[in-house]
Amino acid sequence: MQQRIANIALVVKDYDEAIDFYTKKLNFTLLEDTKLSETKRWVRVAPPGSKDCCLLLAKAANAKQAASIGNQTGGRVFLFLFTDDFERDHTEMIEKGIEFVREPETHDYGRVAVFKDLYGNLWDFIQPNE
């Protein structure tokens, strides 16, 4: 048996502002942007070099969904972005206006800092010791 997680849905306010943030601020690749209806699109983005899992940007369709934008995990770190060069990418992210809420630290597992996306979701940014 073989299974894998292919997409993680991230509730967003607006497709285009989310695409702009992820592609211009985090250098993600826009993998797909397909119109499904007048109000719904299938939008997938992924970090450069990513081969398996990607983000499915899902525009909030009602008030209950909109209430979870930026807080899908109750204030905990939600997503984990790995890099092969922490200093290079951290510097570029700061230059592009990414807000880090925890400064870089070195741990047994690697170098890590925490940043917010455009809606306030918390991300661990990690260069693992592999």
Residue 20 backbone phi and psi in degrees, to 5: -60, -45
Superfamily holding 74-130: 2,3-Dihydroxybiphenyl 1,2-Dioxygenase, domain 1 (3.10.180.10)
Give the pLDDT confidence of 7-38 residue by residue, as tens digits.
999 999 999 999 999 999 999 999 999 999 99
E-assigned strand segments in 13-62? 29-35, 41-46, 54-59
pTM of the predicted model as reported, rounded to 2 decimal places: 0.93
How do the domains of the chain map onto residue ranges?
1-66, 74-130
Selected from 1.10.1740.10, 3.40.50.1100, 3.10.180.10, 3.40.47.10, the CATH number assigned to the domain covering 1-66 reads 3.10.180.10
Identical fold between 1-66 and 74-130 = yes
Give pLDDT, residue 63. Answer: 97
Give pLDDT, residue 56. Answer: 98
State both tokens at 52.
């398996």
3-class state of residue 64 by DSSP: helix
